[in-house]
Amino acid sequence: MAQVLVLRVPPDDADAATGVLWGIGINALEERLVDGTIELRTVVGDAQLPGTVEALSARWSVAFETVDAEPAETWKAFAAPVDVDGVVLNPAWLTPPDEGVVVSIDPGAAFGLGDHPTTRLSAGLVARRTRSLVAGGARPRVLDVGCGTGVLAIVAAMVGASDVVATDISSAAVEVAESNVMANRVDDVVAVVDTPLGSIEGAFDIVVANILAPTLIEMADDLRGRCCGTLIVSGLLEEQMTRVEAAYQPWVVVERRVLDGWAALELSADERVDRRPSGQ
Ligand SMILES: C[S@@+](CC[C@H](N)C(=O)[O-])C[C@H]1O[C@@H](n2cnc3c(N)ncnc32)[C@H](O)[C@@H]1O
């Protein structure tokens, strides 16, 4: 049997809570939206608990469930391919479909098998925008901030991006993303780095960030600063859209997509609100 820690936190605390959990060395984390709160579930061993439960319980609701051993294998058995706008996000241990664009993902210890609503929303917007630029003869550069398993960077490369940079603050994610990039044979196009966003140089036609709302708000200046075209942000709940949109003004929203209570925004650098001083 294995022990699952179940942590319920307000959406604004999710980044802090996941940081604590990754910090104690967990291998995988499941995130669910339950009645407006974020439920974080992870298998923990006794060695990880001293001090942690006290620290978590001081701020959030902590519970434990006992499940069958080898939970990783259990969830793997339920994983299924996801089709996003003609791109199949396929768990690496399943036989890939014969046709179409197939991205094979092994999440290892990182977030992003491809089935989370925010990943699906982001992947759809990235694929559509990349294809449209390629169809117009461009050679788009894409930046994936908070790449997790690298799924969005790999999608961009598979549908024609010429140059993709994927970055994450988690060293586990960088390692997993590198391995997925190699497995999908897009290592000639995708570079996975651990460089903080503020230190990444150059401008990108598409910047995508699937990170929780408080971080997106904090990073608004840096994300806009790296983007010379389309900015796609997700990881936010539907009710957080207004707050995130406000942080990105004067950029304008080209499209809002919502799935299972989660949202993604496509913002455009080309349609900035006219900021000329009055009289011009
Ligand atoms: C919700 S996951 C998204 C993973 C993947 N892009 C996807 O769509 O499935 C968010 C990722 O952002 C990373 N992250 C959080 N804050 C970050 C920051 N300030 N800079 C870069 N990455 C960050 C986390 O480590 C995590 O891997």
Query: Is residue 280 scored above 70 in pLDDT?
Result: no
Q: Give residue-wise pLDDT tens across range 83-107.
A: 999 999 999 999 999 888 999 999 8
Residue partners of 200: CB distance under 8 A and separation at least 6: 143, 165, 167, 193, 226
Average pLDDT of every residue of the chain: 87
Q: Alpha-carbon distance 41 to 4, whole Å?
A: 6
For residue 183 the two structure tokens come to: 């497995």
Q: Alpha-carbon distance 239 to 111, whole Å?
A: 23
Q: pTM value?
A: 0.80
Q: Give residue-wise pLDDT tens across range 181-210.
A: 999 999 999 999 999 999 999 999 999 999
* Ligand 1 atom index nearest CA of 235: 1
Query: Is residue 61 scored above 90 in pLDDT?
Result: yes
Question: How much is the pLDDT for 102?
Answer: 97
Q: Give residue-wise pLDDT tens across range 152-164.
A: 999 999 999 999 9
Cβ-contact 254, 227 below 8 angstroms: no
Length of the chain: 280
Sort 134 into a burial class: Cβ within 10 Å, 0-12 / 13-18 / 19+: middle
Distance 66 CA to ligand 1 centre (A): 28
Q: Alpha-carbon distance 130 to 125, whole Å?
A: 8
Cβ-contact 222, 146 below 8 angstroms: no
For residue 127 the two structure tokens come to: 């694929």
CATH of 80-268, one of 3.20.20.80, 3.60.70.12, 3.40.50.150, 2.160.20.10: 3.40.50.150
Question: How much is the pLDDT for 177?
Answer: 95
Query: Is residue 278 scored above 50 in pLDDT?
Result: no
Q: Grade residue 66 by pLDDT with cuts at 50, 70 and 90.
A: confident
Domain 2-75 carries which CATH code? Answer: 3.30.70.120
**Residue pointed to by tokens 């339950």:** 34
Cβ-contact 207, 145 below 8 angstroms: yes
Would you say the CB of residue 173 lies under 6 angstroms from ligand 1?
A: yes
Among the residue ranges 48-52, 173-177, 193-197, 216-220, the one predicted with the least confidence is 48-52
Range list of β-strands (E), the chain: 2-9, 30-34, 37-44, 61-67, 82-84, 87-91, 101-105, 141-145, 163-167, 190-193, 204-210, 227-237, 252-259, 262-268
Distance 280 CA to ligand 1 centre (A): 42
Q: Alpha-carbon distance 242 to 100, whole Å?
A: 36
Rama region for 65: left / alpha / beta (φ>0; ψ in -120 to 50; rest): beta
Residue type for position 165: V
Q: Grade residue 29 by pLDDT with cuts at 50, 70 and 90.
A: confident
Q: Give residue-wise pLDDT tens across range 40-53.
A: 998 876 655 666 78
Handedness of CA 252, 224, 260, 105 (dihedral sign): positive
In the chain, where the domains are located: 2-75, 80-268
Distance 279 CA to ligand 1 centre (A): 43
Query: Is residue 71 scored above 60 in pLDDT?
Result: no
CA torsion 213-234-267-222 (nearest 10°) is 60
Would you say the CB of residue 165 lies under 6 angstroms from ligand 1?
A: no
Q: Residue 250, preceding bond cis, omega within 30 degrees? A: yes
* Ligand 1 atom index nearest CA of 122: 8
Proportion of the chain above pLDDT 90, given as a percent: 60
Question: How much is the pLDDT for 78?
Answer: 75
Mean pLDDT of 133-157: 96
Would you say the CB of residue 158 lies under 6 angstroms from ligand 1?
A: no
